[in-house]
Amino acid sequence: MPSSRRVALVTGCGSPTGIGWASARALGRAGAVVHIAATSDRIFARAAELEAEGIAATGHIADLTDPVAVAALAGAVGPVDILVNNAGMASLGTLDETGPLETFSDTLWRTVIDRNLTTTFNVIRAVVPGMKARGYGRIVNVSSTTGAVAGVANDSAYAAAKAGMLGLSRSLCLEVAGLGITVNCVAPGWIATGSQTPAEAAAGAATPVGRSGRPEEVADCIAWLASEGASYITGQLVVVDGGNSIVEDRR
């Protein structure tokens, strides 16, 4: 677990049932000072809930697709030791449209890529110089089994973004590996968040474990990758999917 008083920034923390929120709580319970970000003022309720548990926390509203807003966020937070890039997938619980690739509009494609990949790039670019200067950092990017491990029909933009997050992580890890900074990806499978659809819940029930994962189970993996003890693990994709992605015979 993170050392006491490490400073963490976790994005995509607005939902009380999401992976971001669970990750912030896991890091805070391990002793980190936690800064959390989302696109709406509900982030302040999440920060208050963390503080009620005795966790040092602040909430920030930011559009992470906007480099100017990200720079302002980085300035407000200050030095960051642990970065968890969780923003993406849904905005305020609303999922993006899906469909055959040729039906995607230019706007929809850019929106999905920006929300799920460009946000990660923007935040890393803002905080990694400070990590380099201090000789320490833990970056954990929340990818997905979709794109990084497997494919889902009619969701090509999301899959491309999440696969891109893995490529970004592996390239970056080679840039900073000798500077005390690790960069890893976590790929959740079917997770029972508030935005999970009935069809996704059914898919979770069909995994080898027989259920969807809990946000806390993903968060515990993220917290471990953010720990002092994970110092020799970098450039990796850790799949948290109840064994679903290794099943060959689904009869």
Catalytic machinery residues: 158
* C-alpha separations of 116 from 12, 47, 120, 215, 227 in Å: 10, 23, 7, 18, 24
Lookup result for tokens 């677990």: 1
Question: Does residue 144 sit in helix, strand or coil?
Answer: coil
Tell me the one-letter amino acid at 8: A
**φ, ψ dihedrals at 55, nearest 5°:** -95, 130
Can you list the positions of beta strands (E) in 86-208?
A: 90-91, 94-95, 137-142, 181-188
Determine the Cα–Cα distance for residues 18 and 168; give it in Å rounded to an integer.
Answer: 23
Determine the Cα–Cα distance for residues 188 and 224; give it in Å rounded to an integer.
Answer: 15
Question: Does residue 180 sit in helix, strand or coil?
Answer: coil
- Contact present, 219 and 23 (Cβ < 8 Å): yes
User: Which residues pair with residue 114 across a beta bridge?
Assistant: none
